[in-house]
Structure 1
Amino acid sequence: MATPSNGGGGYEYLFVMTPADWLICNICQYPSREPCLSICCGHTFCKSCLEGAKRVTDACPICRKESFGTILHLQADRAIRSLHVFCTNKEKGCKWQGEVNDIINHLGNSDGCQFEEVACSNYCGKYLQCQYLTSHVADECVRRKVDCQYCHITGEHQFIEGHEHKEQCPKFLLACPNKCEAENIPREDIDEHRKMCPLEEVTCPNDCGVTLQRQYLTNHLKSKCLCRMVGCQYCHITGEYQFIEGEHKEQCHKFPVACPNKCEVGSVPRDDVEEHMKMCPLELIQCEYHVVGCEERMARKNQKKHNKEKMEEHLSFITHQLTDVQHKLASETVNSREELTTKITQTGKDLATTKQHLSGLIQRLQHTQRGFTTKQDDLTVKVEQVEKESKEQLVITKDDLTLKLQQAENGFKQQLAANKDKLNFTIQNLTATQEEARKTKDELTQQLALTKQDAKKTKDELNQKLTNTERDLNATKQQLATTCQNLAKAEKKHITLTANTDEVLAKLETKFQTKMAEIETAAQKRVTELETKLEEKNKLLEGIFFTTSDLWWMHINTTASKLSSGDQVVPVIVKMSEYTNKKRDEVIKHTDSFYTHHGGYKMYLCVCANGWIGGTATHLSVYLSLMKGPYDDQLKWPLNGHCEVKLLNQISNSEHHLGKGKYQVSGHQKITGGACMWYSERFISSEDIHKTTPTHQYLKDDSIFFQVDYKLYINI
């Protein structure tokens, strides 16, 4: 049986021998605890039982006498404490038995009863016997401290051996995801291994659209890639294989083509075909004498044979042609002489007519000159009149202009006065705005002061409570000293009780000191927490005065630092640090993977600081690739969405650079490795990255940030 809580009632232990009746409490019927003897009837009661009875009535519980008296029954107390009892864990196997004075020490001591059930010291929630506690804490408790065999961090067993840590431990050994021969690869080295893994699915760097294992990439680039660079064996220009072997063959000026007449020469360069046709023996040509009438055509090699065979016909054609030419010349000569005589006669007539016409013109010119002299005199008179009128009109116009100028000057002065009033009003508004800003700053300063006062007040209250606690502790210690003195006096009278009392007091003092140490620790912890909160509040108030650019830069830096595999949803911010070194060393930055949404498509971003293969070193290249993800079998294909990649302005949430790229249709299909779905070989020039103005800056602390926005169109 367990001992009653708070010492109430008698001893409920299992006694080796039945206690005498005079030791039994007449209320609870157990051996009395702190026995009291009633003066009226001499019966024995437990002190706690008697106090409970007195709260109901002042009469004796046995004889019912009013206002009865009691004394401590010291003889009964000594007799009861010397009685032998069994351990309360006897049914569980404990064979201990001893005096009532010793059972408390037996049950409460760690070296005592090994069958007593206690709670696990690691607070795992289990209760077990003391004899099993050591092995449980060392080998079985789920909250025992153990070291991870891979990363060597210390933590609770249930965490270290649990699914969560094994999924996150950077040193946990894994097999290659591509099932190559490499095994026992630390998780943090998986990405590096995949960059060299022969079974990793890679995309051809020539952008031919082919995805294949890395071990076959060299052979593909050397002999199978349609976009590999080769030279034409005829004209020796360099180009892609599919161009050289396709379209170029139809245009190459050195490509050998067969003679259109299929002569014995066979094939000739395309540029030399026309020259060859001028000498080709099978080319059909006209007879050399076609100008004189021979209309036959023959192969060039048969021309001499034709001339021999048709020699008489050719001579006949030539004779007829000469005769015709002689007749034509004679006829044309006669006609020419007649025409020339006619033209000479007509020219003489035209010359006489022209002389007569010229004499008439001279007479008209003399008459016109006399009229011109008369008109010149009239014109001089009119000019003088016009000049006089113009001077009068000029005087009138000058007066009008002077009047209008005066009016315009007055209007301008009035407008200037109105503008001056508006300027004064604007200055007043600006002054009021500055005053409001100053008031706002004063209010914030007052709030900060009040917050510090509250914190100081809280700290003072805690100090006061700590002082009160120390005062109570001192009072308690004084009470304890007084109790010790009283016990010392009682020791002289009761030698038998001295040893037991000292042991109980020592235990009480130890527990008291432990409790006070816990109180002091809790108070110190609370003070530390309040000081930490005060510092955080001060930092928060100081953060109010951050500039917009500082807050924006902190936002993008914080967002980029949280990027991790499997828990991000686009839009996502990606950081590329050490930009200068990566550009110099031509390093390609592969980000961690991320998802379009929870349970969505898996992607990663590739940034080439020095341009991509086939691109240009003066520009930065960006690629967005689709990866094989754990949810691909439940998703809809092909992937349908719209991508935007921005280079972020690090001092303001505006003026970001939106890159223009191209989509690859093949990159939106369900894949087994990785496929480029969006790319921009000339995302932004290196010169523009380094440009800095008061409102924007892309490169800061040798780092740049990209934001990926992917809008997914759901196919229902």
Structure 2
Amino acid sequence: MALATTPYGGGGYEYQFVDTPLDMFVCKICQYPSREPYLSECCGHTFCKSCLEAARRVTTVTKACPICRDEEFVTIRNRQADRAIRSLHVFCTNKEKGCEWQGEVNNIINHLGNSDGCQFEDVTCSNDCGKCLQRQYLTGHVEDECVRRKVECQYCHITREHQFIENEHKEQCPKFPIACPNKCKADNIPREDIDEHRKMCPLEEVTCPNDCGMTLQQQYLTTHVKKECPRIKVDCQYCHITGEHQFIESEHKEQCPKFPIACPNKCEVGSVPRDDVEEHMKMCPLELVQCEYHVVGCEERMARKDQKKHNKEKMEEHLSFTTHQLTNIQHNLANSQVEAVDSKDKLTTKITQTGKDLATTKQHLSSAVKTIDQLIQRLQQTERDTVSQLEKYKDEFSMRIEQERNESKEQLAVTKDDLTLKLQRTENELTITKQELTVTKIEVRSTKVSFADALKELADTKADLKSTQEEARKTKDDLTQQLAVTKQEAKKTKDELTQKLTNTQRDLNTTKQQVATTCQNLTKAEKEHITLAANTDEVLAKLETKFQTKITEIETAAQKRITELETKLEQKTQQIELIISDPRIFWYNTVNYQASKLSSGDQVVPVIVKMSEYTTKKSDGVRWYSDSFYTHHKGYKMCLLVYATGYDGYMTIFLILMEGPYDDQLRWPLKGHCEMKLLNQISNSEHHLENGRYQDNGHKRVTSGERCSYAMWFSIKFISHEHLQKITPTCQYLKDDSIFLQVDYKLGTV
């Protein structure tokens, strides 16, 4: 049969029929066998329900017949024709691909959709690899070709996707065989055992464990450590200490106490241990020694073994030396007695003279004591004068420091007041900006202008803040300079006082302690002054940090507000575009009707709705409808109906089903499950969840207006007013006179 097109879109069955359908079954608008046929009473023609509704939308005379133009246009549902059309035989839509199936219109959907149906139907791989192929090839593809099919690693036996096993997993598999990195004979080592293999690999480069710095292959390490390493541990054969080979053979041989060395006199003993040499020299027969009679004058030296022979040969000479020595001793003893008598006389005379000198010295000491007393009195008077003068200097210096400190505090207070005033001015300007931005919600066109004004004012505000920051920095520099001048003056004063104290110390040694104490006080005052300067810098730094933080907060809040307004502007623009779009648009799509395929497990996206001016709505007792929303893309259209006043001290909520633009392609009657949450606005916890009561009798399409009385879900006592307005440290539902409701809707089976 010939296929025709219509400006209203096709609403009939577009299948290829085995026998040409009767003309009475063909829709006069889309020229296809009618889907849900209606019969006109005026001319007897048949129309699809969807074609008829579309024609009525675009016809200027809404009640006229689209064929005969009879204004008394009345139609009735032709159920007999509907049954006849559904029983007509059609070819499979994949006939050109080779499918020979023929069957009734009622059965073609099952034929195309079932897994054991049409083998020529294009289906998508069940592994979500993105491959589209005929159903007859799907099993072979899924089992043997799909890159996302589940396979087992032949080495570690984990099961993952084929493409992961062949690519990423091969680079990580702990059991995958790899060759030794040193290219030894082992070439089939599991990856996880490679470290253990390298510990035993003969070609692995290792460092000598004795830290000699030598690097060599592991197969040569044992020989090196035992025989070649210069730092091998060996025992000294003499003292038996353990040390490195190179140390034992070089340094230790020069110090070893048991090392045998030759006698310096080359006696018959030969060699003796190094620490026994001194004892040996005391007994060595070849050691040169003095004659035993050297005290009486014999100066000859001989070997120890020849000492007895020398004494025997020089006996007469030694006797002569001894007699002469005794004679000298007797003579010296007589002279000593005479000198002792003379010394006694001189000592007696000296003692007498010393007594006279002591008496004279005693008189002089008495006079000196009187003089010292007078000097002490003068020193005490000078000390009092000095202390008084120092106290005067200290008071003057303290007054100057206190005055400078007060001036600094006053300047800081003035600066802080100026900065606070500017901050308040800035906050007021930002408040005005926020109000102006809020006004921009009224009209879409004026929003962009308000954005520009807000951005300009924000730029001016940032410029003012920058200027304020520069002024604060300039004030900080001035204070720093003043503090530096004060510090220099204090240092100059300190130098003057130090000089005066130094001059005083030259005259009065007894005032050193007082001067030192004064210096300590001056140092403490200087430290206090430095601390004051540091505190001033810290205050300025804190003010600067506070300014920077405030600027950041302002910029963040402004940017966040701009983003919110841009989002709202985009949503509003989409709504306007939808409203002003061509009313002749027909929403039915004969190919893509995924919305009608939603199963019982499909979860829609949660929707969050804001209700403002809660107090006013509660006191006025008004019914508040939220903006409409959809369960999913091209899904069911719904809205919320909220009674803030509610019933018996509780707020009441209804979930309302609305007439939507996609209802023709959706499944009816509608069933599902709903959860309603009242969101906590200060924490992501303690939300108020209410399952409520779901109308489980199913819902047909809405045809009686945009809003209707079909309540999909309702809760008469959703939440008490007392609980809603209660505020805790972790929970607050009502904030800024607004609440947020979250709708979680899940579709159910029909």
TM-score for both structures, normalised by structure 2? 0.38
For normalisation by structure 1, the TM-score amounts to 0.40
